[in-house]
Structure 1
Amino acid sequence: MPLSAVELLDDTHRLDVFDCGKPGLNAWLTGFARTNQTRGFTRVLVVHENRTVVGYYGLAPSVIQPNSAPRAIRTGRPPDPIPCLLIGQLAVDRRYAGQGVGSGLVKDALRRCTAGADIVGGRAVVVRAIDTDAERYWQSWGFIPSRDNPSVLMRSIQDVRLWLAESSH
């Protein structure tokens, strides 16, 4: 059965067999994803096979302090704090690793972030890496570590928008 398109998490999705190899990300999906979405903290987007989730990410508004932002994001006279969009908890089930699910989720998240910024503003996309492997992963997508915490990485909305335009050719 083919994988679904990226869609909003709902009560029909099965979460119980998801295993990305990182207990914290597994626990977030099964223990907090639905509640956080219901309460309006996060939008959880999933890819599934026959309603069983094989990949997911969270999307939420966020802020960063100007002194932690790289210069490319602090340019001009930014507000304090700087409004951003957060991609949180991105993970893919180990059984689907290497099949492009993660890349598809990242691209989908970046497209949604630029669309959201068009509506409500936002200077950057921010991620909080769970470990050094995740830090390297996000750096491979052009994200820059914050000045005060290497596990918080960011990329300007303008840069993301340009990259998406170039990669769609």
Structure 2
Amino acid sequence: MRYRETGEYEVISTKVSLVDYDESCDLESFDCGIPDYNSFLLSDARKYIEIGISSVHLLVENETNFVLGYVALLTDSFLLDKSEKVKLELDIPFSSVPALKIGKLATDKSRTEHHYGCYLLELALGFADNLLNEGIACRFLTVDADAEYNPNTFQYYEKNGFIKNEHRTVINRKIV
């Protein structure tokens, strides 16, 4: 991840906590600048958790309990073609591989003193590692990068180590 070696994550970790979605937190004050993402936190997150669609974790400032950001996580799988499997040294007879997906990630637009989004990505990677430690196969961390509100979204994830999936089913997929 992008700021792993800078010491910034260590600084952030002393000031924040990652907690499971909690409606007692001041969710109303959260504003990432994208109404759909704000609305998700207020209206959809609880429902998605209850019906087993995703988990939602809040990054909360320890001193003020201010919600700095959130990440929604769910299970995933995706396809690798033969050349990708060779490159990754995956000698397997199938194309589908298990992953943990970042469904949504957002940070409050008023708090830019640290790279909280990158920190949340690092924590999501930790969740993927924990799955492996619990005996649940998880080879990758994926994200459906949403560029509808920000055309630089793809570059953001690439700068943080994500690689665009070039599998033909992804490239040819039409979203309706």
1:70-89 correspondence to structure 2 within 5 Å? 70-71=84-85, 72-73=87-88, 75-77=90-92, 79-89=94-104
- Structure 1: gaps of 5 or more residues: 151-169
1:130 aligns with 2:146: yes
| Gap runs ≥5 in structure 2 | 1-13, 172-176
2:65 is aligned with 1:65: no
SS of residue in 2 equivalent to 1:94 = coil
| Matched residue SS, 1:97 | coil
Aligned pair 1:95/2:110, yes or no? yes
Give the letter aligned to residue 65 of structure 1. Answer: L
Residues 73 and 102 of structure 2 are in contact (CA less than 8 Å); yes or no, is this contact kept in structure 1? yes
Q: Which amino acid aligns with 2:68?
A: V
Given that 1:66 and 1:82 are in contact with CA atoms closer than 8 Å, whether structure 2 keeps it comes out as: yes
**Contact 1:69-1:146 at 8 Å conserved across structures:** no
Query: Is it true that 1:56 corresponds to 2:75 in the alignment?
Result: no
Rounded to whole Å, the distance in 2 between the matches of 1:96 and 1:102 is 11
Range with bigger deviation, 60-69 or 20-29: 60-69
Counterpart selection for 1:5 from 7, 17, 25: 17
**What are the equivalent positions in structure 2 for 1:32-47 lying under 5 Å apart?**
32-47=44-59
Letter in 2 for 1:35: K
- 1:159 aligns with none
The sequence identity of aligned pairs, in percent, is: 25
Is the radius of gyration larger for structure 1 or structure 2?
2
CA distance in 2, matches of 1:17, 1:74: 46
| Distance in 2 separating the partners of 1:69 and 1:5 | 40
Q: Which residue of 1 aligns with 2:3?
A: none
CA positional deviation for 1:53: 2.0
Assess if the C-alpha contact under 8 Å between 1:73 and 1:124 holds in 2.
Answer: no
Letter in 2 for 1:23: P
Pairwise CA distance, 1:79: 3.7
Deviations 1:59-87 (A, max 9, x none): 11111123499444583215453211112
Residue aligned with 2:91, SS: coil
Deviation at 1:14, TM superposition (A): 2.3
- 2:101 partner SS: strand
TM-score, normalised via structure 2 length: 0.73
1:19 aligns with 2:31: yes
What is the CA–CA distance in structure 2 between the aligned matches of 1:70 and 1:95, rounded to whole Å? 40
Kindly tell me the number of residue pairs found equivalent between the two proteins.
149
> Structure 1 pair 78/115, CA: closer, same or farther in 2 (3 Å)?
farther
SS of 1:107's partner is helix
Name the CA distance, whole Å, in 1 between partners of 2:93 and 2:141: 15
